[in-house]
Amino acid sequence: MKSKKDYWKDEVMQSVEGIQQAGPDYSLWIKLENRLKEDPIRIKMVSKPKLWVAAASIIFLLGINIFVLAQNNSNKINKSEILIEAYQLNTNTEIQIP
């Protein structure tokens, strides 16, 4: 015996039986194909000075990032050492049992 859900699924599936797949307008498709045939893909060469400037910029930015990360890491170590000393976490305390 079919449940209400199964009947609903069947009804929905039957309602979409005659639907055609959407496609582009034929005239627009022809215009697009003609444009692609007329305008071949052009590759523009980048001049060497521009290429060197881009490479130097990338290297410069990487250097700055590494420097900032190294400074940030050393600050974390110093902050943790200050906290250890402030709360006297590095001292060995012996518990004396009476």
Asked if residue 60 is part of any domain, the answer here is yes
Asked if residue 71 is part of any domain, the answer here is yes
pLDDT at 19: 84
pLDDT at 64: 94
Contact indicator for 80, 87 with CB cutoff of 8 Å: no
pLDDT at 93: 59
Asked if residue 15 is part of any domain, the answer here is no
List the domain range (segments joined by +) for residue 53.
46-88
pLDDT at 26: 87
Asked if residue 75 is part of any domain, the answer here is yes
Asked if residue 53 is part of any domain, the answer here is yes
pLDDT at 98: 57
Number of domains the chain is built from: 1
Asked if residue 51 is part of any domain, the answer here is yes
pLDDT at 7: 87
Asked if residue 93 is part of any domain, the answer here is no
Asked if residue 8 is part of any domain, the answer here is no
DSSP string of the chain, one letter each residue = ---HHHHHHHHHHHHTTTPPPP---HHHHHHHHHHHHHS---PPPPPHHHHHHHHHHHHHHHHHHHHHHHHHHHHHHHHHHHHHHHTTTTS--PPPP-
pLDDT in tens, the chain (98 residues): 778 888 888 888 888 888 888 887 889 889 888 888 887 777 788 899 999 999 999 999 999 999 988 887 666 666 777 777 777 766 665 555 65
